Chain A
C-alpha cells in the first residue's frame, strides 16, 4: 500500500510539473491573442492556424532544406510575423469600421483558407522534425528537454514583450492606443502603423510558439484545432485583453489538462477544462481578474 502511494505521488508530481511546462506555451499563445485584442479590438479565430503554418515552415526548413534548428527558428518567427501583418493589412484593415462580428468571421474565413491551403500544399500526413531531445530524469520523474526548452523560451519571449512594451517608444504607443484609440491619433500617433506593428508582434509570438510546439508534436493541417479552442477559453477566462489574467489562466488550464490526462486520456483533460470553464463562468463571469466596465 505504501509503495502504491509513493508511485502515485511521483506520477502526480510529474504531472504537476509537466502542467507548469505546458502552461508556459499556452501563456505565450494567450499573450499573442490578448495583445491583438487589447490593441486592435479584433479576435483572430485563425490564431492557432498561424501557429500551424509556422510549424510547417520549421518542418520544411529543417527537414527539407537541412537548416539547423537554431537558424530556422528566427526565419519561422519572421515568416509568421509577416503573415500576421499581411492578415491585418488584407483582411482586418478594410473591416475596421464594420461591426466587430464581421471582423471575427472574416478571420474565420482565413482559418478555412489556411487549413485547406495546408491540406492542398502539404498533404494530410503527419510530419515531424525528426529531432528527439533527451529526457531529463530527476529521481523517478522524467521530463523531456523539449518541454523544458519550450517553457524557458516562452518565458523569455514574454519577458521580451514586457520590456518592449515598457521601455520603447513604440511599446508605449501601443499601450496608449490600447487605452484610448481616438485620443492617441490626435496626439500624433499613427494608429495604422501601430496596428500593423501589433499584428506583426502577435504573429511573431505565434511563430515562437510554433518553433516550440513543433519539437513536441507532429504537424498536420488540423493541428491548430487541438490547441486553438483551449487558447480561446484561456483568454476569455483571463479576460480578453488582460495580460496578467491570461497568464494565470493559462497555468490553471494547463494543470487541469495535465492532471486530467493523468487519470484518463488527454482528450478528457480538455473536456474537464471546458467543464471547469463553464463553472467559472457562473462564479466569475467577466473573467478571473475582471475590471468590470
Chain B
C-alpha cells in the first residue's frame, strides 16, 4: 500500500514540475484541456458508476459556463464569486429535476430520457436568450483590464492555467476517492442492485442518490466555468446539449467507468484523437472526430464494457496467478 502512495507522490511532483521544464505552449494547451475535461468526466463517473446514467451533464456544464460569464459581463461580478453562484445554480437545477425522479422511482430508461431532455432544454434556453447569451454564435467573457487578471480569473500564460487545472483535477480524484471509501458507496451499490431491498435494509434511497447527484452536478458546473475562463469563448454546442453529455459518457466508458483514473485515460484518448484528426485532416475533419467517437463507443460497449484501463487492470490482477482462480 505504501509504495502506492509513493508512486502517487512522485507522479504528482513530476506533473507539477513539468511546465517549468517543458514550455511548448501547444502541448501545454492540450494538457490543460485534458485536465479540465478529465475533471468533468470524473464528475460524471461519480454518478455513472452506480448505474445513475445521466445525459443531463451537458446542461450542468452549460449552466456553470454561461452563468459565470453572464455575471461577469453584465453585472461585473468576479468569477471568484460567479463560479460558486453558477455551481449553486447547477446544483438547484439538479435537485429540481432529480428529486421527483428519485422520490418517485424513475430509474433506468426513464431517468436517462429525463436527463437527456434536461440537457436539450438548457441548450434551447441558451439559444432562446440570444439577446444576452449570443445564441448559437457563442459568447466571449469581457477581457479584464491589465493588472486585474487575478480578480477576473483571466491569465495569459499557460503555466498558471496548467497548475489551476492540475489542482482541480487532483481535487476531482480526491472526491472520487472520498466517495469510494465512504458509506455512500455501499449504500449506492446496494441501491443500484435493488432499490427496494436497499430501502428495507435502512438505506435512505432518495437522500443517497440526491447526495451523489448534487456532488456530480457541482463538479460539472465547476468544470464548465473553468473551461469558459480558460478558452475565453463558449458556444452552446461546446459546453451544453446532448452532444456534450454523450461525449462525457463516451470518454468515461472508453477509459473505464469503475477505476479512479479511467475518466482521465478516456480524456487523454478522446482529446488526442480529436487533435490528431484535426491536424491530419485540417478543416475537412469537421464531423470525422465524432464519427470515429461514435463507432468506437458502440464497439467498446459491445466488446469492452469495462473500458481500456479497467480491462488492463483486470488483466494485471489476474496475471500473477494464471491458473485462474475466479
Contact = CB atoms under 8 A, between A and B. Distances in A.
- Say whether A and B bind each other: yes
Interface of A: 37, 43, 45, 91, 94-95, 98-102, 104-106, 108-120, 124, 221, 225, 228-230, 232-233, 235-236, 240, 265, 267-268, 270-271, 274, 277-278, 281-282, 285-286
Given A43-B109, A112-B246, A281-B101, A105 B117 contact: no
B116 interface: yes
B294 A112 contact: yes
B295 A232 contact: no
8 contacts: A116-B291, A120-B288, A229-B120, A230-B117, A232-B114, A233-B117, A236-B117, A278-B96
A108 B297 contact: yes
B302 A95 contact: yes
B114 A236 contact: yes
A99 B301 CA distance: 10
Contacts of B302: 91, 94-95, 106
Contacts of A109: 246, 250, 293-298, 301
Given A102-B305, A229-B117, A278-B96, A267 B106 contact: no
B12 interface: no
Q: Quick one: which of A91, A232, A286 has the most chain B CB within 10 A?
A: A232
A232 B116 contact: yes
Contacts, number: 153
Nearest to B48: A101
Interface stretch (B62-70, B123-131, B200-208): B123-131
A113 B298 contact: yes
Nearest to B125: A271
Interface of B: 51, 53, 55, 96-97, 100-101, 103-106, 108-110, 112-114, 116-118, 120-121, 123-125, 127-128, 241-243, 246, 249-250, 253, 286-291, 293-298, 301-302, 305
A169 to B, nearest CB: 29
A79 B123 CA distance: 31
B116 A113 contact: no
Nearest to B112: A104
B117 A232 contact: yes
Contacts of B108: 100-101
A94 B290 CA distance: 23
Contact of B116 (A45, A100, A106, A265): A45
Contacts of B105: 285
A108 B291 contact: no
A120 B242 CA distance: 19
A120 B291 contact: yes
A268 B128 contact: yes
Contacts of B104: 281-282, 285-286
Nearest to A107: B298
B53 A91 contact: no
